[in-house]
Amino acid sequence: MKKGDIVEFYSRLAEENPHPETELESVNDYTLLVAVVLSAQATDAGVNRATRALFATVDTPEKMVALGEDGLKQHIKTIGLFNSKAKNVIALSQALIAEHGSQVPADRDALEKLPGVGRKTANVVMNVAFQQETFAVDTHIFRICNRTGLAPGKTPLAVEKKLDKATPQPFRLHAHHWLILHGRYVCKARKPECWRCIVADLCRYKPKTAEPAAKASGKKQNA
């Protein structure tokens, strides 16, 4: 995608949603970290349902360690891979207490050393909690960057590096949220809704989807 098209691409997403935010619910930096760890291979909505009651009383590493692995499992058992995730959350909480004064570090390397925290999770926390210009490449962003031609790559890391290089100011801080939300609600994996996409004309995806017949006929009847 050409530089001018990239600017226009982001400009339209920004105009539609000037202040995008993560859909994961949290009460502080620590619960944000926990929520992002729990969201791996799970939906944000599913994580939110499981953590609302949890975060109402457990909002520090110390409280999480006191709750214990079995206690945490009871809260998150509706989330995929909850056994391993519970183990990681307790371990990362212990590490925060022992190595970081119970505070979430704002450094990618330090974050990635925590149990259950990979590069994508670290990038999300750095962006949302600490307002750093990072690009967390999840399945939505990987798909959009390749499908549209915005930042094609064969691996999430390759896409991240291209996205970092291609994304100009003033769009860098919110870029990954715009892309995630666009992928979640418009540029869907199986049936992208190209007929209502505000950047469809800039996109390199050739087999664009047409508006569903039922919707189209409804418009004609109401015209």
Confidence class of residue 213 from pLDDT cuts 50, 70 and 90? low
Average pLDDT, the chain: 92
Query: Active-site residue 138, yes or no?
Result: yes
User: 120 an active-site residue?
Assistant: yes
Question: Is the entire prediction scored with pTM above 0.75?
Answer: yes
On the question of a common fold for 3-19+136-202 and 29-130, the answer reads no
Q: What is the 3-class SS of 18-77, one letter each residue?
A: CCCCCCCCCCCHHHHHHHHHHCCCCCHHHHHHHHHHHHHHCCCHHHHHHHHHHHHHHHHC
* Residues in binding site: 187, 194, 197, 203
User: Does residue 219 have a pLDDT over 70?
Assistant: no
What is the C-alpha separation between 202 and 150, in angstroms, rounded?
9
Considering the domain delimited by 29-130, tell me its CATH architecture. Orthogonal Bundle (1.10)
Binding-site positions for [4Fe-4S] cluster read 187, 194, 197, 203
The pLDDT of residue 212: 67
Q: Report pLDDT for 220.
A: 47
> Of these residues, 63, 85, 120, 215, which one is catalytic?
120
For the domain bounded by 3-19+136-202, which CATH number is listed? 1.10.1670.10
Ranges of each domain in the chain = 3-19+136-202, 29-130
Task: From 66, 63, 60, 4, select the one nearest 27 (Cα to Cα).
Answer: 60
pLDDT tens digit string along 110-163?
A: 999 999 999 999 999 999 999 999 999 999 999 999 999 999 999 999 999 999
Contact 61, 102 (CB under 8 A): yes
Q: Which of 138, 164, 191, 201 is catalytic?
A: 138
